[in-house]
């Protein structure tokens, strides 16, 4: 049998090293374009997105909570040390 899957108990093979920067560059390029496209679509067809209005506040709450979870004590110390910048 010529099975290309790894044997049980063996470590999976890693992706090529050059694949990660390429994927990151693609994500950094595509994500803003999706956001701009979604914003333009919402401006042109607001009725389509009206049912989503009720969930926007909750979605922002979850996003901000997730961002806050990534903060560490040194981050707060830096803000207190240099509040403007």
- Whether the predicted pLDDT of 66 surpasses 90: yes
Instruction: Tell me how many degrees the CA angle 76-82-83 measures, rounded to the nearest 5.
Output: 75
pLDDT of 15: 55
Q: Which has more confidence, 82 or 41?
A: 41
| Entry pTM | 0.49
For 15-47, the pLDDT digits (tens) are: 555 678 888 888 889 999 999 999 999 999 999
Domain ranges of the chain: 19-81
List b or e across 48-76, with b for residues whose CB sees 16 or more CB atoms inside 10 angstroms.
Answer: eeeeeeeeeeeeeeeeeeeeeeeeeeeee
> What is the rounded distance in angstroms from the CA atom of residue 77 to the CA atom of residue 81?
6
């Amino acid at each position: 049998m010529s099975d290309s899957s790894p044997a049980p108990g063996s470590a999976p093979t890693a992706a090529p090293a050059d694949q990660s920067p390429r994927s990151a560059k693609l994500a950094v390029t595509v994500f803003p374009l999706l956001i701009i496209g979604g914003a333009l679509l919402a401006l042109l067809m607001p009725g389509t997105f009206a049912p989503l209005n009720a969930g926007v506040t909750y979605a922002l709450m979850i996003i901000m909570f997730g961002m806050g979870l990534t903060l560490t004590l040194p981050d707060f110390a830096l803000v207190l040390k240099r509040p403007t910048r």
